[in-house]
Amino acid sequence: MKHNLYLGFLLILIEMGSCNQSVKFFNSGEKERLWSMVRSPQIDSIIDATIEIQLAKDTSMIKALLYNSNDARVTHRLKYNGMSVYQIKMLSLESITNKKPPKQITYTPDSIIINFYTQTGASR
């Protein structure tokens, strides 16, 4: 009977460890660094911060992704070639919040989508 209990406990631990939906919360120094990157005039810096926030799924950084979110500048980085800063930020917000916007996200800034994520972020 004890073996079954230990086996069940082990399986629960393995399941918990295999979840790849982990959330990382940034400390104040990391948040300051990411905010600085988001405010940068450099497209690459903004994209790097956006992706770092997206991968961490830190909902406390939604406001950073909404900062100057109507930025229509297009990147030529290989992975994101032809995508606007706006598009990358909105796709990241979709990933973090697990909420689809009312319209499709394209490279052109859309105030309906920006307002949708502004309201979504405000409710968190």
pLDDT tens across 75-95, in order?
Answer: 999 999 999 999 999 999 999
Residue 71 has pLDDT above 90, yes or no: yes
In a domain? residue 62 = yes
Residue 18 Cα distances to 21, 58, 115, 116, angstroms:
9, 19, 35, 32
* Residue 116 lies inside a defined structural domain of this protein: yes
> Is residue 17 a part of any domain in this protein?
no
- Domain-embedded: residue 11: no
Please report whether residue 19 resides in a domain. no
| Total domains, the chain | 1
Token pair in block for residue 99: 């909420």
Inside any domain, residue 9: no
**In sequence order, what are the beta bridge partners of 84?**
74
What pTM was estimated for this model as a whole? 0.78
Q: 3-state SS of the chain: helix, strand, coil percent to 5?
A: 65, 0, 35
The residue range of the domain holding 101 is: 24-122
Residue range 4-47, pLDDT digits in tens: 434 344 334 344 444 445 567 788 899 999 999 999 999 999 99
Q: Which residue has the tokens 């950084």?
A: 61
